[in-house]
Amino acid sequence: MTKTVGYLSLLYPFLLLQIVRSTEILPCEHVSGRLPTEVHIKGCDRLPCIFPRGSNISAEVVFKAPFAATHLIPILNVQLAQVWMTFDAGETNGCESLVGPQCPLEEGVTYTYVRHIPIQDRYPKIRIKIEHELVDWMRRSVFCYRINALVSDKLT
């Protein structure tokens, strides 16, 4: 029993790393913007992320404010084939999705932004690129990152 507890205590730090591992992200290519400090997308630590139809994406973005801002606008751009289009995920006020310190942003302060996006059953099974950007009312980029993803069948 003591031996088992000893092994578990050695494995604990590695197991914890697996739980809180950041998602691999890429710089935006459709727009220019600063990379956030960290991104955690539930169930995705390396690209491409697999998003089953009928599921919800949950993304937590940690960023340092590059400037002061009173209003935040979330933008999702999706590339299907070679065409970029803006995806309406229903959120218009990014300030409402901040956890911890709220708007107005203060330059140099670290913030956490949480986003939930439904992957509808009607979406086709396809490989896509997604750029997630947060801008202020003057369209200055607070952060922008890209992920590659695959929309798949529902998990059973």
Distance of CA 141 to the CA centre of its chain: 15
CATH 2.60.40.770 fits 23-152, yes or no: yes
Q: Where are the domains of the chain?
A: 23-152
Q: What is the pTM of this model?
A: 0.82
pLDDT digits (tens, 9 = 90+) for 72-108: 999 999 998 889 999 887 788 999 999 999 999 999 9
pLDDT digits (tens, 9 = 90+) for 11-21: 333 333 344 56
Q: Measuring CA to CA, how many Å separate 37 from each of 30, 65, 71, 97, 156?
A: 20, 10, 20, 17, 34
The reported pLDDT for the residue numbered 13 is 37
Is residue 111 predicted with pLDDT exceeding 70? yes
DSSP-derived 3-state class of residue 144: strand
